[in-house]
Amino acid sequence: MSDTHSQTVPFVRETMIPQAEPPVGNRGVILWMRENLFSGWFNIITTLISLYVIWWALSHTMPWVFRGIWNASSLTECRAIRDATLPEGTSAACWAVLTDRWQQLLFGFYPRELYWRPVLSLVIFLVAIAPVLFPRVPRGALLFTAVSPFVMFWLLWGGTAWFPISIGLGFVLGWAAWRALAPMAGTLVASIVAVALPIVYWLYTAGPLARELEQVIPFRMEYVSSQDFGGFMLSFIIGIAGIILSLPLGILLALGRQSDLFIINKISVGFIEIIRGVPLIVWLFTASLLLNYFLPPGTNFDLMLRVIIMVTLFAAAYIAEVVRGGLAALPKGQYEGADSLGLSYWQSMRLIILPQALKISIPGIVNTFIGLFKDTTLVVFIGLLDPIGLSNAIRASTEWNGIYWELFVFIGLLFFICCFSMSRYSLYLEKKLQRGHN
């Protein structure tokens, strides 16, 4: 049979031809473009229109950006350089305002020779949050994290180191009281004492103690007042302090709102609803204006501290609601399971409920944090010199009056970098915590 075949057909391929690539039009970039950009008349039209819009936008802005002038001492000089070097009628950015004033945009009026202090505290902050953010860092580093706020405070404001140390002692005092009293006097008494004792200590003893210690063993560096804080440093301090403080407060409020204890429940609900029902700008005005009337004349309760407290309370109310969403999303079986194991309330929260609830809430929490960080620019309305406030101040100097976009481009870029990294981290966290059963 095979003979017949060999005689009727002149050629038979005996080996497979090697696999060839698809035709040019059906592979790689061209295929991707055909499938994604030019599949059908409607997509072709929208693609072309989008390309045109992108090209139009870039062709109008990019030359302005890249022709920018970096070396000049005033806007007038910028314009003179531009007219001398570029053809008439071309526009060019005057980035020289940034070379001249970048220190102010970043640090406000912080003394120039002390810039290492805020930079070092930022480094300390990044090191300190590492054990919280990344599980691979050894747990012992958490001790450093606990100490770091006091170190950062001292680095930023300076003055005597005994002040943050004596404030920190208050926490140690509360913790010691708890450890000493909890076994013999019961949880309730112990927690009341553990809260009350540090407060009394802070109000009456901490200040004099720090002064005494300072006289015995002087240990201080140059004091920088809050008035000199400004620019991105101010945004960072308000934002980071707000973020760190609002998370635990928000979690407590969320638990309080779910609590069966009448007073705790109503206080939490009232707090959350009142704070959340009023715009942040109103709270900032309250902090800067109204509190002044309540506080004794002459007391200077630092404006920055007041703002940090208000921003923290505001963010805490939002965090509380986000966490409550996470708590509500847990199946009832988790609560009952925890109870059936005989865990106490705090044990069940710490070991079973919160780890799951917080995991669900991560996108919402990070969303709130990003919002909080950007909201710090609202302090411009109460006269704090954040980047926006400084851009006004810079524009008011005779050299740079009339400049506009360059400053805002710079400020926007820095904010974008910060917020974008936060959102990337939240994505990383979500992927890492993905257990597949939710």
- Sign of the CA dihedral with 47 first, then 52, 58, and 59 last: positive
| Residues numbered 22-61 forming contacts with another protein, rule: CB under 8 A | none
At 167, is the secondary structure helix, strand, or coil? helix
One residue of 199, 217, 351, 417 binding another protein per CB under 8 A: 199
One residue of 77, 214, 228, 430 binding another protein per CB under 8 A: 228
Q: Can residue 300 be called a binding residue for another protein (CB under 8 A)?
A: yes
Q: Can residue 397 be called a binding residue for another protein (CB under 8 A)?
A: yes
Q: Which residues contact 74 (CB under 8 A, 6 or more apart)?
A: 398, 399, 400
Q: Which is nearer to another protein, 334 or 397 (CB)?
A: 397
Q: Which is nearer to another protein, 140 or 298 (CB)?
A: 298
Q: Which one, of 387, 392, 376, lies nearest residue 410 by Cα?
A: 387
Only one residue has tokens 């992927």, namely: 431
Stretch that binds another protein, among 55-63, 121-129, 299-307, 360-368 (CB under 8 A): 299-307
- Could you give the C-alpha distances from 56 to 53, 63, 284, 336, 409, in angstroms and in order? 5, 12, 41, 61, 19
* CA–CA separation, 349 and 335 (whole Å): 9
Which residue type sits at 392?
N
One residue of 31, 67, 70, 76 binding another protein per CB under 8 A: 76
Q: Can residue 67 be called a binding residue for another protein (CB under 8 A)?
A: no
One residue of 94, 96, 101, 354 binding another protein per CB under 8 A: 101
Q: Can residue 87 be called a binding residue for another protein (CB under 8 A)?
A: no
- Could you give the C-alpha distances from 87 to 63, 93, 179, 380, 436, in angstroms and in order? 13, 15, 77, 39, 62
CB 419 within 8 A of CB 374: yes
Q: Can residue 296 be called a binding residue for another protein (CB under 8 A)?
A: yes
One residue of 46, 50, 227, 347 binding another protein per CB under 8 A: 227
Stretch that binds another protein, among 35-43, 114-122, 295-303, 337-345 (CB under 8 A): 295-303
CB 86 within 8 A of CB 64: no
At 220, is the secondary structure helix, strand, or coil? strand
Q: Which one, of 228, 225, 226, lies nearest residue 308 by Cα?
A: 226
Q: Can residue 108 be called a binding residue for another protein (CB under 8 A)?
A: yes
- Rounded to the nearest whole angstrom, what is the least distance from the CB of residue 358 to another protein in the complex? 22
Q: Which is nearer to another protein, 338 or 388 (CB)?
A: 388
Query: Which tokens is 141 given?
Result: 């580093």
The site that binds another protein (CB under 8 A) totals a number of residues, namely: 47
Q: Which is nearer to another protein, 75 or 372 (CB)?
A: 75
Burial of 20 (0-12, 13-18, 19+ CB in 10 A): exposed
Q: Can residue 401 be called a binding residue for another protein (CB under 8 A)?
A: yes
Q: Can residue 383 be called a binding residue for another protein (CB under 8 A)?
A: yes
Q: What is the DSSP letter of 138?
A: -
Stretch that binds another protein, among 44-52, 287-295, 323-331, 342-350 (CB under 8 A): 287-295
Q: Which one, of 272, 275, 236, 270, lies nearest residue 251 by Cα?
A: 272
Binding site for another protein (CB under 8 A): 75-76, 79, 100-101, 104, 108-109, 112, 195, 199, 203, 225, 227-228, 285, 288-289, 292-301, 309, 313, 380-385, 389, 392-398, 401-402, 404
